[in-house]
Amino acid sequence: MSGKEMHDLVTRLYPLCRSITGDGVRATLDVVGEHIPLTVHEVPTGTPVLDWHVPREWNIRDAYVRDPAGRKVIDFAESNLHVVGYSTPVSATMPLSELRDHLHTLPGLIPYRTSYWAENWGFCLRQETLDGMEDGDYEVVIDSTLADGHLTYAEHVVPGGEEEVLISCHVCHPSLANDNLAGIAVAVWLARRLAEGERRYTYRFLFAPGTIGSITWLARNRDVVERIRHGLVLACAGDAGALTYKRSRRGDAEIDRAVAYVLESSGRPHRTLDFSPYGYDERQYGSPGFNLPVGCLTRSTYASYPEYHTSGDDPAFVLPESLEDTLETCWEVLQVIEANRRYANLSPYGEPQLGRRGLYGALGGRSDTQRAQMAMLWVLNLSDGDNTLLDIARRSGLPFAAVAEAAESLREAKLVAEWTR
């Protein structure tokens, strides 16, 4: 059911023209805010953010190209991908030979192009459309504004303990369903599920423009950054490809081990990649000054599929079952993170007598009695402060849930205690 609901959200958000600033971002956050409460932040143009400055705000109302016969051969109203993002205003008539310098094409698809940091303008179209355009004078209109304004981002916080988990997705792409809308949808439903129970961690969901948005958030939230213990960037979350996890810059952070364990133990087709300073906002969170333990979970990876950054990345490219699978994977990872602890065996000299404490008897009627007993023995043996429950699950080959349950039973029996050194 949630797969269809997430897909419905993707479909609803798809027509909105987003960019790194502007009313399209605000409209997107308004829709997200119907599903989870958001705190929206507006950061003025020119604000210093680390080594950057918040750019001028871009908005667009209309754009088109008319051929010599007066027909619209390129129309922003048909697809917002037709206009290069952050295009400066244009109202001119020019020959096709001059217009060609501002056209970007792909066979059969409209490409997605931007010009954020250099003032320029342009249109994107299918190569077949360009091939059919005859010589002559073309009317060119881009009704846009580039002026002082704000960069907009939003947060949703699911309260828990003092330490935090960061879930981040970007909201800057226009009509691209897999490459950012799918990540937004999974984040929304993950936040809603987390709100239903008690939590060890506080979960902070960040909906921000790519690169400049995460840089702005990092610059404005040094106090929060110090509390981040785990994190995931969600992107390309709904296509038919296998799940892919890109490790954090640290490479062996707890989030890296938790995701690897969930993917391996689930039997899902998957890939695990080492960190590289290219991709999504994990590279900002993982810049050396911050070095946060934030990995990136996708299905198909950045720029690896033909539909990437083209009109082919439409709602039909996103599958409800893939959204559901990504959501469930995230949920399983967070359950590991929530329960993963180090324990100290309080009776470490020889094996403690479990029977007189009622631990064996309590297992007698269970169908998994032997597994539960083995989980207790493994927890007792490896609870030396060096091993987490995740380490124990990996070494024993037992399900993490069984190990965590055994640890809780042993804690209640005062045979182990959480390691605090």
Q: Residue ranges for the binding site for Zn(2+)? A: 173, 179, 309
User: What's the CA angle centered on 358, arms 355 and 364, to 5 degrees?
Assistant: 85
| Phi-psi category of residue 290: left, alpha or beta, with phi > 0 → left and psi -120 to 50 → alpha | alpha
Element (H or E) spanning 73, and its range?
A: strand 72-75
Instruction: Please give the Cα distance from 43 to 45 (Å, whole number).
Output: 7
Contact 64, 74 (CB under 8 A): yes
Instruction: Please give the Cα distance from 142 to 159 (Å, whole number).
Output: 45
Contact 81, 126 (CB under 8 A): no
Instruction: Please give the Cα distance from 259 to 394 (Å, whole number).
Output: 12
Q: How far apart are the first and last CA of the chain?
A: 45
Instruction: Please give the Cα distance from 329 to 268 (Å, whole number).
Output: 10
* Number of other residues whose CB lies within 10 A of the CB of residue 348: 14
Look-up of token digits 């939590």: 199
The Cα-based distances of 299 to 228, 253, 328 in angstroms read 25, 21, 13
The Cα-based distances of 76 to 42, 59, 66, 83, 143 in angstroms read 27, 13, 12, 7, 10
Instruction: Please give the Cα distance from 173 to 171 (Å, whole number).
Output: 6
**Binding site per annotation, positions:** 173, 179, 309
Q: Quick one: which of 384, 389, 418, 385 has its CA closest to 405?
A: 389
Residue 149 phi/psi, 5-degree rounding, is -165, -125
